[in-house]
Amino acid sequence: MSLRRVTFAMSTRHFIYTLLVGLSLASFSLAADERPVKRAVGVVLFPGFEMLDACGPMEIWGNLKDQVTLITVAKSAGPVVTAQGVEMVAQKTFADCPKLDLLLVPGGFGVKKLIKDEETLIWLKQRSAQVEITMSVCNGATLLAAAGLLDGRPATTNKAYWKMATKPGPNVKWVTQARWVDDGNMVTSSGVSAGIDMTLHVVSSLFGQRTAERMADEIEHDWHRDPSWDPFAAKHGLK
Amino acid sequence: MSLRRVTFAMSTRHFIYTLLVGLSLASFSLAADERPVKRAVGVVLFPGFEMLDACGPMEIWGNLKDQVTLITVAKSAGPVVTAQGVEMVAQKTFADCPKLDLLLVPGGFGVKKLIKDEETLIWLKQRSAQVEITMSVCNGATLLAAAGLLDGRPATTNKAYWKMATKPGPNVKWVTQARWVDDGNMVTSSGVSAGIDMTLHVVSSLFGQRTAERMADEIEHDWHRDPSWDPFAAKHGLK
């Protein structure tokens, strides 16, 4: 082997080595900064939250074990009573909740009291600013609106209690006919079971259509893929 | 007024009075013995139960506050971890659970261990014999089958894990194509979200179609009213 060939072979090897290290570092940096390997999904619980608003989406997030870490968070850790009377456990407090990648706010009659609770509104504002996507189900949007997070943006909420749910958000562009509204980093869904359809939509955006279809099939859910599908708007006199 | 007319008037009044008292007693006895004013719905929790199997139906039972008392029950009271990782609280133990009118058994990967657990199987058998209707969601039916409660009866279970779910019930008349199977005092549903449709069906049987429709509309749920609606059977090669 000539000296020239050896030099060439070495520099080629060096080039490939440098390339591989570079690529690996680049992908690591991408994974760490933009596309976390495992996303932390925080679900906010509060007394009187609507059980299915939280549990529908959590069923799906919790089944994505390789992609997601599911965290329930409340003002105080421990049992939190649902609007249906049974209790779910909040694993973390507002204070000790780790960094989140996705934030989910359910609704329920408990929202009425919470829209006046400064501690909750401030926490929601701070966390929402840090996550990729903030999601709400039902009048969870009322809470986001009260925190000023939906000002000037399109959003939806539950149809059965539309007037009450939209009142604390006079500057929100409320959409009456929508299963969910995707406004980039803010995705709001209609009432209760609509949260499942919205979650599948977000899963599809983050992990691809195939993953979302698999999740829907696994829980034998008839996924409404069209965000404008909403027979409940008319049923509640909103169309 | 002649004596005859007075006697007639008195006996008519006496007759009406007796009739009213009788009717009122009869309706009281019916209410107390056969149609309890408020039914106690017991939902069995165990480590690794599928969250939506339990929470879908509980959303509806919990919203029927005037007709239903919702009770979560497990071997031990306190937090029970779901298959999705978060926890729900069991209010009662098997031992201190009050008399139930309806019993709901969710599925989940935890069933695999539970079908060998004598204490659970015996408790299910005892309670099932006392209630009006025993319901299961997903492979909750596997648990009922293991307890011998479905022998010789038509039933369904989840479609994604059909073989595994039906194995402990060789004497069950398994129905592959069904959102749910109503066999009188035993109503079994297909996987996960099918539990919501089944629950609305049972609510309709107990409290009328209008109440069930109201419940479905309130949670903005697209209720599949046809028990043979089941695209998931074919998707999982069962048709």
Contact B59 A79 (CB under 8 A): no
DSSP one-letter string for chain A:
--HHHHHHHHHHHHHHHHHHHHHHHHHHHHHHHTS-SSEEEEEE--TTB-HHHHHHHHHHHHH-TTTEEEEEEESSSEEEEBTTS-EEEE-EETTT----SEEEE--STTHHHHTT-HHHHHHHHHHHHHSSEEEE-TTHHHHHHHTTTTTTSEE---STTHHHHHTT-TTSEE-SS-SEEE-SSEEEE-STTHHHHHHHHHHHHHH-HHHHHHHHHHTT------TT--HHHHHTT--
Residues A2 and A50 in one domain: no
Residues A9 and A57 in one domain: no
Contact state of B61 with A55 under an 8 Å Cβ cutoff: no
Going by pLDDT thresholds of 50, 70 and 90, the confidence category of residue A27 is very low
Give residue-wise pLDDT tens across range A182-208. Answer: 999 999 999 999 999 999 999 999 999
B31-40, B164-173, B202-211, B214-223, range with the lowest pLDDT: B31-40
Same structural domain, B172 and B65? yes
Please indicate, yes or no, whether residues A56 and A96 belong to a single structural domain of this protein.
yes
Between chain A and chain B, how many beta carbons pairs sit less than 8 Å apart?
A: 128
**Same-domain pairing of A75 and A9:** no
**One domain for residues B26 and B86:** no
Q: Is B85 on the interface with A (CB under 8 A)?
A: yes
Q: Do A193 and B82 touch (CB under 8 A)?
A: no
Q: Which domain holds residue B148?
A: 36-235
- Residue B13 Cα, gap to closest chain A Cα (Å): 48
Q: Which of B58, B88, B138, B150 is catalytic?
A: B138
Read off the CATH number of the domain in which B164 is found: 3.40.50.880
Distances (CA, A) of B71 to A122, B77, B121, B128, B151: 35, 11, 19, 15, 27
Question: What does the buried/exposed string (b/e) look like for B78-113 if buried means 16 or more CB atoms within 10 Å of the residue's CB?
Answer: ebbbbbbbbbbbbbbebeebeebbbbbbbbbebbee
Closest residue in A to B216 (Cα–Cα): A193
- Model confidence at B23: pLDDT above 60: no
Residue B148 CA to residue B122 CA, distance in Å, equals 10
Q: Check CB contact under 8 Å for B83 and A91.
A: no
Question: ipTM score of the complex?
Answer: 0.85
Same domain, B75 and B40: yes
Of B158, B160, B220, the CB nearest to A159: B220
Do A216 and A135 sit in the same domain of this protein? yes
For residue A102, what are the β-bridge partners? A41, A133
- Residue B179 scores a pLDDT above 60: yes
pLDDT range class, residue B19, cuts 50, 70, 90: low
- Cβ of B196 and A194 within 8 Å? no
Same domain, B123 and B226: yes
Do B13 and B115 belong to one domain? no
pLDDT tens digits, residue range B134-148? 999 999 999 999 999
Query: Is B55 a catalytic site residue?
Result: no
**Same domain, yes or no: B157 and B207:** yes
Q: What is the pLDDT of residues B49-76, one digit of tens each?
A: 999 999 999 999 999 999 999 999 999 9
pLDDT at A120 over 80: yes
Structural domain count of chain A: 2
Q: Answer whether B85 sits within 8 Å of A63, measured CB to CB.
A: no
Confirm or reject contact between B197 and chain A (CB < 8 A): no
Do A78 and A89 share a domain, yes or no? yes
Question: At residue A3, does pLDDT exceed 50?
Answer: no
Minimal CA separation from A88 to chain B, in Å: 4
CA angle B171, B172, B175 (to 5 degrees): 145
Query: Is B52 near chain A, with CB under 8 Å?
Result: yes
